[in-house]
Amino acid sequence: MYRDLERVSARYGAVTAPEILPHNPLCPDIVTGRVNLPGLELIFLLPLTYPATPPVVLVTADGHDTEQIATGVWRLDLPPDERLLHALEPFLEAGAEPYHKAFGPMGGPALTSDSNRAEIAGWQPIYTGRDPAVAAETIRQGLFARSTGILANSLTDRRVLVVGAGSGGGHTAEQLVRSGVGGIVLIDPDEVEPANLSRTVYNAADTGRTKVRALARRLLSINPLLDLTLYPADVRDLNTNTLLELISRTDLVMAATDDLQAQRLLGHASYAQGKPMIAGGLYAGARGGEIILSVPERTACYHCATRARSQAETTVGEVSRTTDYGTGRLVGEMALGVDIQHVAGASVKMALALLLAGRSEARLATFLESQIAAGATYAVFSMSEDFWFFPRIFDHVPGQYAWQCVWMHVERQADCPVCGDPAGRMDPRQVVPRPPKIEDILSAMGGSDSTASVNQSMEATF
């Protein structure tokens, strides 16, 4: 037993030799050992059956209460003198600094001292002799290791509002973070269901969690320093002032909902706040899709773009998905995840180009300039060999098949209440996002409703 404590002391830099404490007659079958590390005391309650069975380990960090930590997997297949060190590895991280409590993924480095962030990320306590911020920053900087010259580190200071955390929004948020975007605001009211696993970023452990919390956990595993704000709510239920404030604090809006009213609301609010928006969507069965780009005062708005699509549908045939009469949301359809990712990936590349505008060191910064200047801000995608108008456009062109894209020109309409003549524009606060719910009416009648407090209670920022 003592030799094992000596090995722990040597591995983790004990300040004194380990001790076997006086026998406690109340616990005749327990031998108590102590190891003092800088800033940390370890007490080992070793049963007489040790090392066949694991000890109880109590940890006391300076300024903290005593805690019991698990000892990981007790590997009976290892030599007896290796079992204790192996069991402690997930919970102790050697370093030159005094040991302190931090958090990190199982088997990984300590990445934060913030217990709230750790709870969202699903990280465990780790007692470390290192600064977790250094490890976290190393991971964040590594996100740019393979994109030098294409992207720029300035993305760390960019913040994106992602509305919709389903198949499209989840992939969008993940790729933005993997590209180095430093701040994400997530809005989505739904929970992860088993049916979501086939074409989203979620896994079985996420079922039953709200999508924003499940997605936040995944994003923090990519960038531990990510600035996150979570709203497990329908965007139409947010007070318009709250939504406008959120948009004002971001650099870009990514609209990835399955709700056409929500898309229009976001298009109106983002244009009014002078923030660009990218709205992605899939047509019936994901045989095709679209991305609508809106840059205030430089391009037409989302409203004008969808009006242009409606005009095209009258001559070439409808492609839009049907909506549920009661909710206004698009009806869920069978579709392949790879087709959804195809459109989501294109929207991320456009988003990165907008976020990098003016950065001469980033090649992607000029990716959209010609399209914006030409007013060609509506991209239509085909993932099927005979989709919509594509056979007519590419008729007699050899080598054409399913994966094609056409940019359509969209003009701003003078009478548009969003991007038209400034004198005729409508303030987003004058638009009712949806008919009021019965509980909202009852609350208003009781005089106890406070929209600001409701919005505040839905928000989680860390």
What residue type is assigned to position 360 of the chain?
Answer: S
State which H helix or E strand residue 252 sits in. Answer: strand 252-255
pTM of the model: 0.88
- How far apart CA 382 and CA 429 sit, in angstroms, is 37
Helix ranges restricted to H, 368-458:
369-374, 390-393, 438-446, 451-458
Q: What average pLDDT values come out for the chain (462 residues) when binned by 10 residues?
A: 94 95 86 96 95 95 89 88 94 94 94 96 96 97 96 97 96 98 97 94 96 98 97 94 96 93 94 97 86 96 80 51 47 77 96 96 95 93 86 84 90 93 92 64 55 47 58
State whether residue 258 is helix, strand or coil: coil
Q: Is there a contact between 226 and 179 (Cβ–Cβ < 8 Å)?
A: no
Report the interhelical angle of 451-458 vs 240-248 (nearest 10°): 50
- How far apart CA 306 and CA 308 sit, in angstroms, is 5
pLDDT score, position 453: 40
Asked if the peptide bond before residue 109 counts as cis, ω within 30 degrees of 0, the response is no
- How crowded is residue 308: how many other Cβ atoms within 10 Å of its Cβ? 18
Residue from 299, 300, 320 nearest 309 by CA: 320
State whether residue 148 is helix, strand or coil: strand
Q: DSSP letter at 390?
A: H
Q: What is the DSSP annotation of 202-231? A: --GGGTTSBHHHHHHHHHHTT-TT-EEEEE
CA atoms lying within 13 Å on the CB side of residue 359: 21
Q: Is there a contact between 459 and 231 (Cβ–Cβ < 8 Å)?
A: yes
* CA 282 to centroid of chain Cα atoms: 21
- How far apart CA 345 and CA 84 sit, in angstroms, is 47
Domains (ranges, CATH) in the chain?
2-138 (no CATH), 153-430 (3.40.50.720)
pLDDT score, position 441: 55
Report the interhelical angle of 80-88 vs 2-12 (nearest 10°): 40
Strands 252-255 and 40-47: unpaired
pLDDT score, position 450: 41
What residue type is assigned to position 334 of the chain?
Answer: M
pLDDT score, position 398: 85
pLDDT score, position 162: 98
Burial class (CB in 10 A: 0-12, 13-18, 19+), 16: exposed
pLDDT score, position 444: 58
Tokens 């708005």 correspond to 301
